[in-house]
Amino acid sequence: MRTFRGAQDETLQTLPARDTTLNLFPKDFASTYRLAETLTLPELNAYIKTKIERGADDTQLYLSEKYERYSYPFAIVVLTLIGVILSARKSRAGVGGQIALGFVLAFVFIIFVMLSRNLAQVGSLAPLIAAWVPSMVFTVIGLALYRFVPK
């Protein structure tokens, strides 16, 4: 063990051998780009557990993916109900405006999901909240459309 005290002062001390076994494997150095999307839910849970046990700080991406897998089915139901509400509205101008409004709402939802995912990845928002906020906001929008859109 070398100890430096200033630019020229150095001491050398010999210590007995130490075991430096690390819990690392060659597969740990492989690329993990978009890995979370390819794992099944049990594999994802095991991967998150391994990352936490190793003390990694980059679990936000994987936790976000896990929670989004639970929130997307709910979001599909909410967006379908919004589509039904918009299509049930009677209009003499035709269905073009209704279709356009449906597309705009779908694009706004996608942008909102991407924004909340990015906020979860940088740590500004908890992954659980980030996964459910878009669905909850669009649930409120759907309820407002149901209440105020003429039938």
Q: How many domains does the chain have?
A: 1
53 is a domain residue: yes
Task: Judge whether 28 lies within some domain.
Answer: no
Domain-embedded: residue 81? yes
**Is 5 domain-assigned?**
no
Q: Note the pLDDT tens digit of each residue in 48-97.
A: 999 998 888 888 889 999 999 999 999 999 999 998 888 887 777 677 88
12 pLDDT higher than 80 = yes
Residue by residue, DSSP assigns 38-100 as: TS-HHHHHHHHHHHHHTT-S--HHHHHHHHHHHHHHHHHHHHHHHHHHHHHS--TT-SHHHHH
137 occurs within a structural domain = yes
Segments forming the whole domain that contains residue 99: 36-148
Helix, strand, or coil here: 131?
Answer: helix
Q: Is residue 4 part of a domain?
A: no
Residue 3 lies in a domain: no
Q: Which letter does DSSP use for residue 29 in this model?
A: G
**Where is average pLDDT lowest: 35-39, 54-58, 127-131?**
54-58
User: Is 75 part of a structural domain of the chain?
Assistant: yes
Let me know: does 51 contact 58? Beta carbons within 8 Å: yes
The structure's pTM equals 0.75
Would you call 9 helix, strand, or coil by DSSP?
A: strand
Q: Is residue 96 within 8 Å of 112, Cβ to Cβ? A: no
| Listed residue (138, 17, 25, 129) closest to 74, CA to CA | 138
Name the one residue in this structure whose structure tokens are 């063990």: 1
